A and B are shown apart, each in its own frame.
Chain A
Amino acid sequence: VDRRSFLKKGLLGGAVLALGAGGLALRPGKTIAAPREKLLALDARGFSVMVAVAARVVTAPGADHVAIAHAADLALSHAPAEAQKDLRNLLGLFENALPGLLLDGRATPFTALDPAAQDAVLEAWRDSRLALRRSGYQALRKMCLASYYADPRSWTPLKYKGPPDLGGFAHDDSKAGTPEWLAAQNDKGGTP
């Protein structure tokens, strides 16, 4: 029974993702922003959706949503080919009006919605009974957040000072162990 229900879930997931890939929007989406550099894993349409999602996920003042989408594109290029394809389909599904209409009664592409309506879509995915939609919400938000908070320019409000200055010793791979001046606060343990 477990095996069958898993299979069913898997098939449903596949069918819903395929809807995203189908390019069946009832109304065309908006091109939010064109890429600034060559895309590595996303297509131009998916990139535009990623920029729109980033704008709702990262609301810190001054955040560069195009830069976030490029960083997400780079990270995605490090995933296996199948995972890259799933994410491209997911962005299509997120944007696409037809699945939006079937699942939420929404006939407008994500990129053409106003910010409050976009937040409502994100929350509907977050709270969905379908595991596939919850996983899609988590994948998109994590990609945007990881891209933004990896950037030292985002750290001031966190009161995170960044890496300490370890002088000339750190990053010198000709040495192993720690010189005395640097080990002043060490935990005094171990043997060489």
Chain B
Amino acid sequence: VTKLAVVRASPNVIDGSAAQSDLELSADVCVIGSGAGGAVTASVLAAAGVSVLLVEEGGYYTNRDFDMLEAHTIPKLYQESMQRTTADLSIAILQGRAVGGTTVVNWTTSFRTPEDVVDHWAKKHAVGGFKYADLVPHYEAIEARLGIHQVDVQAMNRNNRKLYDGCKAKGWEVGPTRRNVYQCIQSGYCGMGCPINAKRSMLVTLIPDAIDAGAKLLFRARVDKLESAAGEITAARATLLDESGYGVTGKRATIKAKRFVLAGGAINSPAVLLRSGLNENGVVGTRTFLHPVIGSTGLYAEPIEAFVGAPQTAASHAFAHRGDEVGLFLEAAPGYPMLASTALPGHGDAHRKLMESVQRRTVHIAIAIDGFHDDVPGGTVKLRPSGAPLLDYPIPPKIWRAFQFAQKKLAEIGFASGATEVSTLHDPPITMKSEKEIDLIDRARWEPCSVGVFTAHQMGGCRMGDDPQRSVVRSEDLRHHTIKNLWVIDGSVFPTSLGVNPQESIYGLARLMATRLAR
């Protein structure tokens, strides 16, 4: 068992906020970002004896900080304190920001990339550098290291069990999820950092592994740009952030390395390339996918307590494949008070009434699988004048239609599992008292900021492929098409969304590509 406090106190761990002067660091490989992509890459390279410096913008928090209070944990662990949105404010973006990245706050759902998705990339996006079979041994290794295993149906909390029972009653495919936890006590606080280290996030697994193997970690360092000369990256320039992560110290870091791996995720990796002026073919930042989410809440006679228990243990892919229409998958979400209060619509007494029944409410979600249709092109990462990223994601008509379809399916699940009423997250909500009223959904407004839309899965923006005009990195090794010492290894390389929660897809692909890089 790794002693986490010992790892954090290792001389290989450098707190950028405490630096008294500008830092100059060097390594064979500089990995930018310590989430699912960066942590896997750093651990594989370090184990192979490569000197690695892992650079992270977020703070190095451990379960000592994870007090299960949204007020304390969200500013520490989420991008923009969970206020990140798309450009027109219509989609709320839940994305982690810490040593360990989003793996520290995700809800532990673990799926391999569906084989038909990998085949689709080969056929439609010129991804010829690997096959599904190449990924399998890496999924297996990750599953063993992270303790990924299937949930017991009997252990589902009531929020998930209603989704499961409702799908079963309708005859729709549904199953228990797999989770990366060990001796989980089902406290339910995955989204605020696991207080007992039961969640096998990067924070408690591959980052300690990498540091034990000699990797260095610099945290509270935001990489502003990569400097290049003669077709190679020469240095990464970073701003050192203060202890809170929201101010700067005035000090900077310069990192020299033979090779650079960008692993900042689907919004921050494109932003680093754009700030560095590295977008010759105009592809960087485009085709950013979000798995856009809508929600539904059923009201039951008995307590549901969606804030207690493992948050996401049931999933249905019954509607994932809909031909010319956008497919969706169905899952549950936790009802933490602050998160629930912003998701439930309205204000004043009407909102208060909804909150007073929150203990008897489910929170079920439908997740749109974007990127598989020509008229669902995803969003585009741009830069604000300050250099901070801004994602423009106009929701296309086809996704609105898919939402309308899925909203009815979620309502059917509610009534089939005993709900006395089901409401949408429109503002004001559409509330149905029985299955007969489901067609009310057709009269709802389906346009930006008339209904709550969320994303917890950001993908694309630096897509892989073998056509240098249509992609950013090569699919055989995720190396940049023209810059010989730059790789991108994270969720930004996916040419489409995935149709499943992304963490294991990132782990598996990163492990395959880091293994190739280490050779």
List A residues at the B interface (Cβ < 8 Å): 2, 6, 56-60, 71, 75-83, 119, 122, 126, 131, 134-135, 137-139, 141-142, 144-146, 148-152, 154-155, 157-160, 162-164, 166, 169-178, 182-192
Contacts and interface: CB of A to CB of B under 8 A. Distances in A.
B175 interface: no
Nearest to B150: A189
B358 A158 contact: yes
B386 A163 contact: no
Given A149-B341, A177-B182, A186-B184, A81 B386 contact: yes
Interface string B378-402: 0000001110101000100000000
B404 interface: no
Contacts of A71: 71
Contacts of B88: 131, 135
Given A80-B80, A81-B386, A83-B83, A173 B355 contact: no
A179 to B, nearest CB: 8
B418 interface: no
Given A146-B341, A155-B337, A178-B196, A56 B152 contact: no
A175 B195 CA distance: 11
A183 B185 contact: yes
B301 interface: no
A145 B148 CA distance: 36
Nearest to B155: A187
B383 to A, nearest CB: 10
Interface stretch (B60-68, B251-259, B474-482): B60-68
A187 to B, nearest CB: 5
B183 interface: yes
Contacts of B346: 141
Nearest to A164: B187
B208 to A, nearest CB: 8
Contact of A57 (B2, B307, B337, B348): B348
A187 B148 CA distance: 12
A148 B348 CA distance: 12
Given A131-B447, A160-B307, A182 B196 contact: yes
A134 B196 contact: no
B507 to A, nearest CB: 15
B83 to A, nearest CB: 5
Contacts of A149: 337-338, 340-341, 355
B376 interface: no
Interface string B169-187: 0000000000111111111
A6 B189 CA distance: 40
B347 interface: yes
B267 to A, nearest CB: 12
Contacts of B3: 174-176
Given A137-B449, A175-B1, A185-B186, 10 more contacts: A71-B71, A82-B390, A135-B88, A135-B89, A142-B342, A148-B341, A154-B337, A160-B307, A187-B152, A190-B148
A19 B36 CA distance: 44
Contact of A186 (B64, B185, B189): B185
A183 B66 CA distance: 18
Contacts of B67: 163, 171
A170 B62 CA distance: 11
Nearest to A167: B196
Contact of A163 (B189, B303, B347): B189
B144 interface: yes
A171 B66 contact: yes
B349 A59 contact: yes
Interface residues of B, number: 80
Closest 8 CB pairs of A and B: A190-B147, A163-B68, A78-B81, A134-B449, A173-B62, A149-B341, A189-B149, A178-B183
A126 B450 CA distance: 8
Contact of A145 (B68, B89, B342, B450): B342
Contacts of B448: 131, 134-135
20 contacts: A6-B394, A57-B348, A71-B71, A78-B83, A80-B388, A134-B449, A158-B337, A158-B355, A160-B359, A166-B195, A170-B195, A174-B4, A174-B5, A178-B183, A189-B150, A189-B151, A190-B182, A190-B184, A191-B144, A192-B147
Interface string B413-456: 00000000000000110000000000000000001111000000
Nearest to A126: B427
Interface of B: 1-6, 8, 62-71, 74-75, 80-81, 83, 88-90, 144, 147-152, 155, 179-187, 189, 195-198, 200, 204, 246, 303, 307, 310, 337-338, 340-342, 346-349, 351-352, 355-356, 358-359, 384-386, 388, 390, 394, 427-428, 447-450
Nearest to A142: B342
Contacts of A158: 337, 355-356, 358-359
B12 to A, nearest CB: 17
A166 B196 contact: yes
Given A79-B81, A135-B88, A176-B204, A152 B69 contact: yes
Given A59-B352, A171-B66, A173-B4, A187 B337 contact: no
A122 B74 CA distance: 27
A50 B43 CA distance: 47
Contacts of A57: 347-348, 351
Max count, chain A CB within 10 A of own CB: residue among B8, B198, B349, B449: B449
Nearest to B358: A158
A82 B390 CA distance: 10
Nearest to A184: B185
A69 B204 CA distance: 37
Given A138-B449, A175-B1, A56 B348 contact: yes
B351 A145 contact: yes
Contacts of A78: 75, 80-81, 83, 246
A134 B428 CA distance: 12
Given A80-B386, A131-B447, A166-B196, A151 B71 contact: yes
A128 to B, nearest CB: 9
A18 B234 CA distance: 42
Nearest to B359: A159
Nearest to A80: B388
Given A78-B246, A174-B4, A189 B181 contact: yes
Nearest to A155: B337
B307 A176 contact: no
A170 B196 CA distance: 5
A139 B182 contact: no
A189 B147 contact: yes
